[in-house]
Structure 1
Amino acid sequence: MGKSNDKKLVSIIIPYHNETEKTLKIVLSSINNQIGIDLSRIEVVLVCDAGNRLDNPDNFLSWFENVDIKYYELTLSGGPGVARQYGMDHSDSEYIMFMDADDQLQYCGALFEFFNVVQQTGNHQIIACDAMEQFKNSDNQFRYRIRSYQDNKIFAWGKWFNRSYLDSIQLTWHPKLRIFEDTYFVGTACLLATDIFHHQVVVYMWLWNSNSITRNTGKFFAQSLDTWVELIRYRYHILSLNNLEIANDDFCGMLTAMAVRETKNKPNNQAKYNSQLRRTLNECVQAYELNYEKLVKKIIEAMKNDDFLKNKPIWELQKLAQKFVKQCDKLMENKKY
């Protein structure tokens, strides 16, 4: 579907897999019902990641007559990152916004907030707003809390990304990351950006979904150490293309986080984890050697701030940190320190 060939101000990319048409109606209606803006300057790109295809796309999308909607179906599932990249490649706009198919815009003036920022302050590399999270408490009752951009710089929602900026840093969604894809893409974009406009208003609703992978398989994510260390390598490579100093600092921070994760969680696949860690250390040897002397100290500090580890005696934290670094040393092929 389409009503205009003019370049849009923003493309809203929505990947989905298992969501039903009933669920899709919620997110699409929240866009279709926006007020205070020129809706012809918006396009929605809905990408089916080889999941529940629309039975009759033209009929379904005709319910949302206020906005241009492009619909695509992928033959093979590549995960949300691949679907988002496909949406980006099949859109044309100054900015890109990402939404999850089981969420919605917070209110009917949410997009006006972004439009107003551009009108009042000009273009930015990233425009970041806040979100509302819907969750269930211990009594299984719904509760809500605000998730500020400052505390959630790795989540794709609630942000506009300037397409020219993304092109300038050569950033795309990594095709090999089916999880932690936001940590790669959004984290990299935010780290390299020199112009992030934080508009402190809630524009996005992260809705509770009982089938959500992120919320309900937390242990699987925590134990996916092989993918996390793979992520470290990918982030280092893209960051080093743009700013080697940032890349080296980020490598130290990410490896420190890796040490904390490993201390608390047994890998889903130990052999795969060891293989990925060896490859990452050897491909990023410069960053490892540069941070080697301070790595143990960094890990101990991170453990002292971790809710699960902070009550352990300092000698035990020191032992855990040294154990991790010794493990890394054994995996290094050519040590120069």
Structure 2
Amino acid sequence: MFPKVSIVVPIYKVEKYIHRCIESILEQTYTNLEIILVNDGSPDNCGKIIDEYAGKDNRIHVVHKKNGGLSDARNKGMEYATGEYTLFVDSDDWLERNMVEVLVKISLDYQADVVQSAFYYAYNDHLLYDNRYFSQNDPHVLLNKKELMYELVRNEKVKNFAWGKLYKTNLIKNLPFKKGVLFEDVFWAHLVMHRVNTYVISHKPMYYYLQRDESIVANYSLRNLDIIEGLKERHKFIEQHYDNLIDESFTVILTNCLIHYNLLMMNRRIDENGICKKRIRSYIKMHYKEFLAAVKGNKEMKTQLLLFHIHPIINFSFLALRKISRKLKVLPQQVGFERKNFSFKV
């Protein structure tokens, strides 16, 4: 008997995309599915749409709840998960038809606790595949716990995203997502991976991660700073359990602090008194020696840290000048991703 897979889909204000997402799940070549659609108090027609789907396919279980955010919706969905495996899918994304079948086979073949699928960044007219480290036809990569935590902290080969990974349900059943925060996966992923013995990376992109036409600068809010708090929380865990990764963790925190400081500079209206910028600058100053030691082999980050330490405006100007130089092709362009032309309708 093939093991049952619980697919948890939190749903909120995605009427435009929900059909494509659900259809991609219903059309899976692997049929022993339990599809848990959680309506997180969506004000549009999503609740009605998923009820209609439930009436057509008995594998679908619909949950309606008051709006509580993505974490709360995922947690509610997990209360109903009875499969041996669990897969999270965001409701504006979609899957290749054989994704579940492929991931379950890999998990069984390697006795893996978690299997990670590669994914496409999906735009309106093209797809991007990150081929900086792997090509689509490369053999699977197996990671043990120590290797996995290193890659998770770096967030390159192993992303912090909860979606696009097949988990053994007993691994995550009692690890709820933190409610009321953005970037909830950053608060959660390291706790999961700490329990993993075998982790497998598949390089075949089978998950489509929708990129909406929204500017991070135009839509920036103070809630975006949650990622820094998540990284700080994770850093305490790293200090307790993986002291060999402290420098890597500090580097990631510094990178995000500098990014968000600059975003706050470009969005002065939301931080009128500069309180958040002062908080970030104070944190960098407090840990300056640790940051400097952490980035000693990273010329890029060391330069930014030194310039920021002199004055944040100097680092901001340096980055702006470098961006202009790249546009003018004075400096070499950053390594791009593999592009595939694509057009889809929603």
TM-score normalized with structure 2 length: 0.67
Residue matched to 2:114: 126
Deviations, residues 64-104 of structure 1 (Å, cap 9, x unaligned): x2x611111221x2221221121112212222211111111
1:200 to 194, 199, 203: 203
* Residues in 2 aligned to 1:78 and 1:9: alpha-carbon distance in whole angstroms: 28
Is 1:46 matched up with 2:42?
Answer: no
- Answer yes or no: is the 8 Å Cα contact 1:127–1:161 preserved in 2: yes
Aligned to 1:146: 129
> Structure 1 counterpart of 2:63, which letter?
Y
- Cα distance between partner residues in 1 of 2:9 and 2:217: 23
Pair 164,55 (structure 1): closer, same or farther in 2 beyond 3 Å = closer
Query: Following the alignment from structure 2 to structure 1, what is the Cα–Cα distance between the partners of residues 65 and 12?
Result: 10
| Structure 1: unaligned runs, 5 residues or longer | 1-5, 137-141, 282-287, 325-337
Map 1:1-337 onto structure 2 (within 5 A). Answer: 9-20=4-15, 23-35=17-29, 37=30, 39-40=31-32, 42-51=33-42, 52=44, 53-55=46-48, 58-63=51-56, 65=57, 68-75=59-66, 77-106=67-96, 108-122=97-111, 124-135=112-123, 142-147=125-130, 150-151=156-157, 153-166=159-172, 171-177=175-181, 179-186=182-189, 188-190=191-193, 193-210=196-213, 215-217=214-216, 220-221=219-220, 224=223, 226-236=225-235, 243=241, 245=243, 248-249=246-247, 251-266=249-264, 268-269=270-271, 270-271=274-275, 293-298=289-294, 304=300, 314=303, 317-321=305-309
The DSSP-based 3-state class of the residue aligned with 2:85 is strand
Displacement after TM superposition at 1:113 (Å): 0.3
Cα offsets for 1:287-331 (capped at 9, x unmatched)? x99x764412435766716xxxx9xxx5x751414668xxxxxxx
Identical-pair percentage = 16
Is the 8 Å Cα contact of residues 8 and 78 (structure 2) preserved in structure 1? Answer: yes
CA shift, 1:277, in A, is: 8.7
- Count residues in correspondence: 280
Write the distance in 1 (CA, Å) between the matches of 2:215 and 2:291: 32
Give the root-mean-square deviation of aligned CA atoms: 3.7
In the alignment, structure 2 segments of 5+ residues that lack a partner are 135-155, 313-346
The SS at the match of 1:266 is helix
Taking a change above 3 Å as real, the CA distance of residues 250 and 265 of structure 1, as seen in their structure-2 partners, is same
2: CA distance between counterparts of 1:112 and 1:7? 10
- State which drifts further: 48-57 or 246-255: 246-255
Given that 2:231 and 2:253 are in contact with CA atoms closer than 8 Å, whether structure 1 keeps it comes out as yes
Query: Bigger CA drift: 192-201 or 231-240?
Result: 231-240
Deviation of the 1:163 alpha carbon: 2.5
2-structure distance, mates of 1:60, 1:134: 25
Q: Which has the higher contact order (CA 8 A, sep 6+)?
A: 2
TM-score of the pair, normalised by structure 1: 0.68
